Structure 1
Amino acid sequence: MTVVYDLEHVTTYRYRQPVTFGDHRAIFLPSLGYSGRILRYSLDTNIPAKVHWLMDTLSNNVAILQFADSAPELKVTYRIRGEHFGIQDVENFPLSERAKEVPIQYTPDEWIDLSNFMRPHAEDEDGSVAAWAKRFVAGDRDDALDVLDRMMDEIWNSLTYQSREAEGTQRPGETLKRRQGTCRDYAWLMIEALRRLGFACRFVSGYLYDEALDGGAVGMTGSGATHAWLQVYLPGAGWCNYDPTNRITQGFELLRVAIARHPGQVMPLSGSWYGEANDYLGMEVKVSIRKLGTLPEFPAAS
């Protein structure tokens, strides 16, 4: 089955008086690969902008916006119509035997390509993240999938989801100490813990499609907004999705936009402005995802 959807993401910055703007980076256009395709898209701003596109070091699509006019408000709207083919569960892939133990035995070529995703990025001054990670390995022959599932379940069961208006991501140790966080905090904690166990992990920014929204309800945590999860590289399966916020690894819910070594690399919209310190009045983000219909699967190749 293929889901056809419309997505709209509106970000509005407001100021006390007209301010000028530096360059802004917009990361909203998915690099979907086998999991979907984009039918059309648009990027609109309330003040004139010169836009040019680039592909960053991780092959994410990035739009650079340059503004010449000052204004008391900046409004940036992304619209996408796409098809989402869904994501298979990792257990449906023929995992290599070397992917089943911890630490995973990556080949020399894999290690070269994955080393930046294996090296911890966040500081762990008190060792709390490393100590927490070690709780999920019990012996010399731990099953990698069991470790991943246990860690995801622990985050789901022991931490409290807490939405936060402020930008940025908590340090993993802070999330453990506070016992709460956003989807970005959950994903970042799991990434940094797994890296300390020898897993190659990357941060994923995107959207969470929740079919309940089509009926006016909210059924999943973080739906109707930007969302974050992680991918783990498992030989034989490749990059596999793990969403600790909703404890899912497959299906049609996760719409990937961009991947990164750390969360700061894939902010949906970032940039600078120039004015008085007290001019900034706040930011508002509205995201809507609407399913237009479904298409039948292609017949299997003979």
Structure 2
Amino acid sequence: MTRSVLYDIVHETRYDYTEPVAVCLNQLRMRPQTRLPWVECERCSVVIDPVPAKIDMHPDYFGNMVDSFAIESPHESLTVKVSSRVKVTETHPFEAQSIPTLQQVIESVRVGLSDADLSAKEYVFASPRISLDSQFADYARDAMQGCTSVLDAVDQLTKRIHDDFQYDSTATDVTTTTEDAFEMKAGVCQDFSHVQLACLRSLGVPARYVSGYLRTLPPPGKPRLIGNDESHAWISVYAGAQLGWVDFDPTNACQTALDHIPVCIGRDYDDISPMRGIVLGGGTTTLSVRVDVAPVESEAAAEAITE
């Protein structure tokens, strides 16, 4: 029997300014995925305060839904609250005989044996935050020694990054390069994912960046803390035309499962940052973010969480 989990997700972002902002233009990429077969976004609402003078929703190049808005009156704070209900369904285990080798995937993408191979090929190249380099390729080959399938190879690389890198939120920031994170062997989920993308693409394997949420479980006997979850990032690797894309989480050394809720897909973080924009005025800015990921136990419980 195929299992699934229904989630209510609230992602609230607030900016406070020391001086009034005259005008702001922003883009949001916070709506959960609607194009992946194992994810269903049942509903999603976006509430913005102050109310924008203009707002538009459209898909970007990668198929992510984008909310673009403009606020054209003076304001000293900005709050964006995105509330979603999402169902994540488990994927069935892959039959061993259907899984290609790493080299078979590299070769099929190189020559474009199918439409799926050609579509995946754009994720082989360098991108703003991902460079192709022999140091990444050598690290990946060393981790993948003896692997017989592409999924086994990527799994071993995932575990190698997890073992070799220290999770340290103070070591890097949003501007840290992939090369610096690789040299330090430290960082957060964004850095771990960028390093794994660089390793795979440097071998010729298509791989893309995934942003989303991760359900966290409280310690035994402790209540779940509301608003204590965070945005997360992981990678998706192309495993051939038959299997398609398979996701791995280097921060947690695992293939993704029911606890992972994808939101946006791109080449790297620059393609999918949750909120970006420009402001006129504002002085010094203070940012606060609250994320809550709650499994829906029942319809009554879901209504309580929404309220």
Aligned residues: 287
Is 1:234 aligned to 2:239, yes or no?
A: yes
Q: Which runs of 4+ in 1 moved over 4 A?
A: 98-102, 122-127, 164-167
**Matching residue of 2:302:** none
**Residues 87 and 250, structure 1, Cα contact 8 Å, conserved in 2:** no
8 Å contact from structure 2 (residues 249, 256) kept in 1:
no
Structure 1 match to 2:137: 130
Deviation at 1:244, TM superposition (A): 0.5
Alpha carbons of 1:23 and 1:256: their partners in 2 closer, same or farther (altered >3 Å)? same
- In structure 2, stretches of 5+ residues that fail to align are 300-307
1:11-63 CA-to-partner distances (Å, cap 9, x unmatched) read 11111111123321111111243223222221112201132100111111111
Separation in 1, partners of 2:195, 2:174: 14
Map 1:65-80 to 2 at 5 A.
Answer: 65-80=69-84
- Cα 1:287–1:254 shift into 2, 3 Å: same
2:15 maps to 13
Query: 1:225 & 1:147 partners in 2: Cα distance?
Result: 29
Cα distance in 2 between the residues matched to 1:11 and 1:147? 38
Deviation at 1:94, TM superposition (A): 5.9
Report the Cα distance in structure 2 between the residues aligned to 1:109 and 1:149, rounded to whole angstroms: 26
Name the CA distance, whole Å, in 2 between partners of 1:148 and 1:61.
29
Alpha-carbon distance in 2 for matches of 1:45, 1:119: 37
Task: Check if 1:179 corresponds to 2:182.
Answer: no
Mark the runs of 5 or more structure 1 residues left unpaired by the alignment.
Answer: 296-302
Q: Secondary structure at the match of 1:189?
A: helix
CA contact (8 A) 1:100 1:145 kept: no
State the distance in 2 between where 1:86 and 1:294 align. Answer: 20
Partner of residue 225, structure 1: 230
2:71, 2:17 → 1: CA distance?
16
Deviation at 1:205, TM superposition (A): 0.7
Q: Which moved more, 1:125-134 or 1:182-191?
A: 125-134
Aligned match for 1:43, one of 33, 42, 46: 46
1:84 equivalent in structure 2: 88
8 Å CA contact 1:102, 1:142 repeated in 2: no
Matches within 5 A, 1:176-255: 176-212=182-218, 216=223, 224-235=229-240, 236-255=242-261
CA shift, 1:102, in A, is 6.7
| TM-aligned CA deviation for residue 138 of structure 1 | 4.1
Matches within 5 A, 1:92-171: 92=95, 95-97=98-100, 101=104, 103-106=106-109, 107=113, 109-121=115-127, 122=129, 124=131, 127-138=134-145, 143-163=149-169, 168=174, 170-171=176-177
**Does the Cα contact within 8 Å between 1:169 and 1:184 map onto a contact in 2?**
no
Q: Contact 1:27 / 1:61 at 8 angstroms: preserved in 2?
A: yes
Residues 1:292 and 1:156: Cα distance change in structure 2 (over 3 Å): same
Matched residue type, 1:173: E
C-alpha separation in 1, matches of 2:97 and 2:38 = 18
Q: Show CA shifts across 1:110-142 (max 9, x none).
A: 443122101122465985333323323548x85
Q: Residue 138 and residue 291 in structure 1: after superposition, are their counterparts in 2 closer, same or farther (change >3 A)? A: closer
CA distance in 2, matches of 1:82, 1:11: 20
1:255 positional shift: 0.4
Render the CA deviation track for 1:63-112: whole Å, top value 9, x for unaligned.
111112121111111111222223445x4576354557574533253443
- Please say if residues 175 and 181 of structure 1, whose CA atoms lie closer than 8 Å, have aligned partners that are also in contact: yes
Q: 1:123 to 1:234 in 2, by over 3 A?
A: closer
CA contact (8 A) 1:42 1:78 kept: yes
Q: What TM-score do you get using the length of structure 2 for normalisation?
A: 0.83
Taking structure 1 as the reference length, what is the TM-score of the superposition? 0.84
* Paired amino acid for 1:109: D
Q: Matched residues in 1 for 2:290 and 2:157: separation?
A: 31
Residues 48 and 68 in structure 1, CA contact (< 8 A), matched pair in contact too: no
Counterparts of 1:281 and 1:131, CA distance in 2:
42
Distance change >3 Å, CA 293–CA 104, structure 1 → 2:
farther
Shift of 1:200: 0.6
